[in-house]
Structure 1
């Protein structure tokens, strides 16, 4: 164990020292060191019904060399498991009826040390930050320990449950491993993964000429009792041991020195790439750009600045392919030839965004503020094609969606206990030849218990309470809010101004509230979840009471429909 830890520490220190002087763009022909720590879950198929094998720590190191998508690697794994006797000793009675109480238990941990070598296969993302690997290993393992002995010391004075464990020095072993890595820079990253390991034909040890021995026992609610049957295996059998494990660790990537593209004596050049929209000619900030060699290997990556430009410095005079991606949409590929580079000059290249859709750059905010709201499920529905898609706002409340040039769209937000604005978007109002980005903000208001929220545009004809077509979108918004929050109950209230008699206004407002409730119920909301209340002129918002002369605008403030979440 100590020797293993010393080996890992020395290799990591060596890797850090080499990494500080290595080339900064190690995308092929490179070494990779991956120390890790994890947890192992074993399965021992050794015909011992009263022994379980518990999981334990796994410490490992992978040393890999990659050419491109293929490589070869060496794995070193130290695994510590432990046996556990499960023989039922509580209220245990032997065949004579005597209760057994004097037991002694001995359990030795099992150490497995695996050395394996085999092929690697990898997929690297275009940004060179994410990598997925499949590692296959074959090799030998040392398996030591695992003796388990439960004795009854007074009445029977014998082993009730026993396995002699293992003492194997070279067991044929196979391992398959998946590993996922995120790189912070060209050298260092973190990884997580899982593995399956199998040891073939592991031979048990013998102790006093016995490999395994146990008494048979029956278990009842009152306790357990020995049946008198004793199973003894004097032959040391061979069987397989398998385990699965999960782990995490760090990854250090090291460029092969002989593969450096440039050196202190060779010429170095610069390449500036501008990302631009083909139709509007707008420059495109935040575009991910990758510079590849002719074999497809990434040489450098970068992101365009506010002017849509990224500069690659200190590159060799060579042939390159330039790729770009903006919000998961690829840009057209461009090429930079070796003959185009001139000493002392920065080569200028352009890549184009040719997607004809608009990019909807929006923000979800708390109503009447500029505060962004994170974690909002922003849903956009194509009203023409009856399709919808969604995305989640980031920590600043911003979101990105793509919309076509034709059709009509409805946009809303969804977040627990928030009442969302619904916005209709008509792409025909925008010109794709002059703009790529459509800016749109939606607001959500927290529906606090007992807090009244005004429903806009709920208008009625004079002395009428029928739901007009122009009121339906707002009531649809209320119905959607209730469907998104099925655990709440809502009161819809209707209010009038002070003109006409109190009794008339009370009856009219109640009829209007009932009509609003009926409409929401017709949209699929349970009637038990919504109630209507008419308040007439009893809750005026201004001074326009009976006998007070007010303008029509002030009277309109009092004529309103509201909703509030009913407190439990």
Structure 2
């Protein structure tokens, strides 16, 4: 059973992977053999798989295990719609789960001998119904939804357990029993999804999953026993030795159903098989002397005239069907080969923003000459192309949640960096934005962008780099622009932006605690510097707390002149810039005890 369950799990994962791979192929592939994309055709699909049933027959001590499913589908499609028929043969095995180990009868006699018979259940289904399909642009991947309604026959499943310790068969006490099924013309519904991959115009493979339900299935009444089902209640206790003891209930006789009843049977299954396509569609023969037609599409910005790599381009016919698709290269160009001369529409998108379309007419195509067309990016907003790196290094940071905050209209957007640390946003003109990153245990810069400083006629891409520092516990990170007036410790307006960066870091990492430290240079006395730095650290803590951070998560320490970064101690002649290096405010994550 465990092996079978593992097999079913793997089969389901394979079906999911087929869907994902097929979708990726559809989105990015360029059509090279349009003959694969048929509209009207027959499809024959034999298959094999595993079926897991669910029986609701009120017999509690019988499990119906998974079994084999062998089936065949025959479908005919008109474009995306079709009609089909299914035939399925399904075999399941009932298994008695009535406890027999250490079982005592009502007279406390240990029952050691049993007679068990378990007959398999065979289900045979045939039905018809509508089909729905979607083909990838190259016709190789076909996704189907098949619905069926029909009739089934369900036979077998008789399960009987007797104890033969006190008397031989058939006199031994009946412990667990179900008469099984002998039902015909059972109304049945089935729905299945199927993913096909075609290697050529005629042959492919498929995988899928289904749900089937049989309605009002009548159970049998055993002709010799005159009952439909029965089981003997029992009592489970714990013996003096600590082991479980099961005793047949002396006060209650068997729970027996004399009359037949009707209940639903349902099942789910996974399958795989081959797909055979029978089509009368005319296909264009390939010959060495046939003329070759090509189409090259260049993506360009309307205002700056610069070429646009990574633009998605699709070529559609007059019916709106995608004939070919692709992505522009580093030169802003995508070339489509083996194009049949026709009237086409060329659409494009750059980072999900629609571009101005272009078109072709059939007489523009010339043999062995590539037809050149342009599509234009006309959006008046800018494209922010950013990158997140580790501070003081070129190392990119992936999976960073980048937040873009519009300070003019109170709008926020989020995106994740890719494996190169890159991210993209569309930003409006005449706006002010703040950009920062969020990643566990990283302290991000906050960058400000004023798009009013850019001219859309000369600039499309606004480039930005955001750096983040690893906030390891005990590691000091400098807070920039935390400046105080001479001998003062009040927080100035210019320092609030940097402290707000610390507030955001603590909000994004609610489980960490932080120390703010203030340092002075060596001028003035040690006692004075210690007091001044402590007052400045306290002022910074008070501001952070005023922004909603709990006071028990942050503490301030004034180190005075005890942690100089250079040799400018008492009595040493140093320049103002050297003293300035020592006057600083830092934060560090407090290490857990």
Q: TM-score, normalised by structure 2?
A: 0.81
Measure how far apart 1:140 and its partner are.
4.9
1:386 has 2:410 as partner: yes
CA distance, structure 2, for counterparts of residue 171 and residue 123 of structure 1: 32
In the alignment, the residues of structure 1 paired with residue 188 and residue 443 of structure 2 have an alpha-carbon distance, to the nearest angstrom, of 59
- Residue 393 and residue 115 in structure 1: after superposition, are their counterparts in 2 closer, same or farther (change >3 A)? farther
CA distance, structure 2, for counterparts of residue 359 and residue 290 of structure 1: 22
Checking the alignment, whether the CA contact within 8 Å between 1:458 and 1:471 is kept in structure 2 is yes
Aligned equivalent of 1:149: 160
CA contact (8 A) 2:40 2:281 kept: no
Equivalent position of 1:446 in the other structure: 470
| Deviation digits for residues 413-464 of structure 1 (CA, Å, limit 9, x no counterpart) | 1111111111111111122222222211111111112111111111111111
Instruction: Provide Cα deviations, 1:110-137, integer angstroms capped at 9, x if missing partner.
Output: 5556555432234568898997653312
Matched, 1:217 2:233: yes
Aligned partner (choices 535, 539, 548) of residue 515 of structure 1: 539
Residue 70 of structure 1: which of 81, 92, 103 is its match? 81
1:316 to 340, 354, 371: 340
Q: Which moved more, 1:24-33 or 1:535-544?
A: 24-33
Cross-structure match for 1:551? 575
Residue equivalent to 1:299: 323
The structure 1 residue matched to 2:457, chosen from 433, 436, 449, is 433
The more displaced of 253-262 and 334-343 is: 253-262
Unaligned 5+ runs, structure 1 = 1-21
Spell out, residue by residue over 1:449-486, the C-alpha distance to the aligned partner (whole angstroms, 9 max, x if none). Answer: 21111111111111111111111111111111111111
1:164 has 2:179 as partner:
yes
How far, CA to CA, are the matches of 1:57 and 1:457 in structure 2?
72
Partner of 1:176: 191
CA contact (8 A) 1:159 1:213 kept: no
State the distance in 2 between where 1:72 and 1:513 align.
77
Call closer, same or farther: CA 1:552–1:292 in 2, change over 3 Å: same
The aligned counterpart of 1:471 is: 495
Structure-2 change in CA distance of 1:440 and 1:175 (3 Å): same
Deviation per residue, 1:132-179 (Å, 9 max, x gap): 653312345565554433322224723311223346677543212346
Cα separation, partners in 2 of 1:541 and 1:381, compared to 1, 3 Å? same
RMSD: 3.6
What is the rounded CA distance, in whole Å, between the counterparts of 1:514 and 1:86 in structure 2?
71
1:26 maps onto 2:36 in alignment: yes
The CA distance in 2 between the partners of 1:190 and 1:524, in whole Å, is 60
Separation (CA, whole Å) in 2 of partners of 1:147 and 1:104 = 14
Q: CA deviation at 1:26?
A: 3.5
In the aligned structure 1, how far is the partner of 2:480 from the partner of 2:140? 48
Tell me the SS of whatever aligns to 1:479: helix
Aligned to 2:281: 258
Equivalent residue of 2:281, what SS? helix
Moved more, 317-326 or 202-211: 202-211
Asked whether 1:43 is paired with 2:54, we answer yes
Distance of 1:410 and 1:251 partners within structure 2 = 55
**Most deviating of 235-244 and 123-132:** 123-132
Structure 1 length as normaliser, TM-score? 0.84
Contact 2:103 2:247 in 1 (8 A): yes
Larger displacement relative to structure 2 (158-167 or 304-313): 158-167
Q: Separation in 2 of the partners of 1:379 and 1:185?
A: 47
Asked whether the equivalents of residues 282 and 435 of structure 1 are also in contact (C-alpha less than 8 Å), the reply is: no
| C-alpha distance after superposition, 1:257-294 (max 9, x if no partner) | 62435643754411111112223222211111111221
Aligned residues: 546
- Residues 232 and 193 (structure 1), Cα distance of their counterparts in 2 relative to 1, 3 Å cut: same
Hey, what does 1:4 align to over in structure 2? none
What CA distance in whole angstroms lies between the structure 2 residues aligned with 1:436 and 1:255?
51
In the alignment, which residue of structure 2 is the partner of 1:372?
396
Offset, 1:511? 1.2
In structure 2, C-alpha distance between the alignment counterparts of 1:144 and 1:161, rounded to whole Å: 19
| CA–CA distance in structure 2, aligned partners of residues 472 and 252 of structure 1 | 67
- Separation in 1 of the partners of 2:237 and 2:98? 15
Q: Deviations over 1:518-557 (max 9, x none)?
A: 1111111111111111111111111111111111111111
Change (3 A) 1:523 1:357: same
Alpha-carbon distance, 1:313 to partner: 1.0
- Paired residues for 1:59-458 under 5 Å: 66-73=77-84, 81-87=92-98, 89=100, 92-96=103-107, 98=109, 100=111, 102-103=113-114, 105-107=116-118, 110=121, 112=123, 114=125, 116-122=127-133, 133-141=144-152, 143=154, 145-155=156-166, 157-166=172-181, 171-178=186-193, 195-204=210-219, 209=224, 212-217=228-233, 219=235, 222=238, 223=246, 225-226=248-249, 227-233=251-257, 237-245=261-269, 247=270, 256=279, 258-260=281-283, 263-264=286-287, 267-458=291-482
Cα deviation 1:493-530 (Å, max 9, x = unaligned): 11111111111111111111111111111111111111
Offset at residue 252 of structure 1 (A): 7.3
Cα contact 2:33–2:138 (8 A) shared by 1: no
Classify 1:405/1:557 alpha carbon distance in 2 versus 1 (closer, same or farther; 3 Å): same
Q: Deviations over 1:304-344 (max 9, x none)?
A: 11111111111212222222222222223322111222223
Where structure 2 has 5 or more consecutive residues not aligned to the other structure, the ranges are 1-31, 239-245
Shift of the 63–385 alpha-carbon distance from structure 1 to 2, 3 Å rule, reads farther
Q: 1:291 to 1:182 in 2, by over 3 A?
A: farther
User: Which SS does the other structure have where 1:369 is aligned?
Assistant: coil
Cα displacement string for residues 63-111 of structure 1 (whole angstroms, at most 9, x for unaligned residues): 6654433234555666565544443556655444555454455545555
Could you tell me how far apart the structure 2 residues matched to 1:455 and 1:369 are? 19
SS at structure 2 position matched to 1:306: coil
CA distance in 2, matches of 1:177, 1:516: 64
How far apart, CA to CA, are the structure 2 residues paired with 1:188 and 1:393? 41
**Whole-Å Cα distance in 2 between the matches of residues 261 and 153 of structure 1?**
76
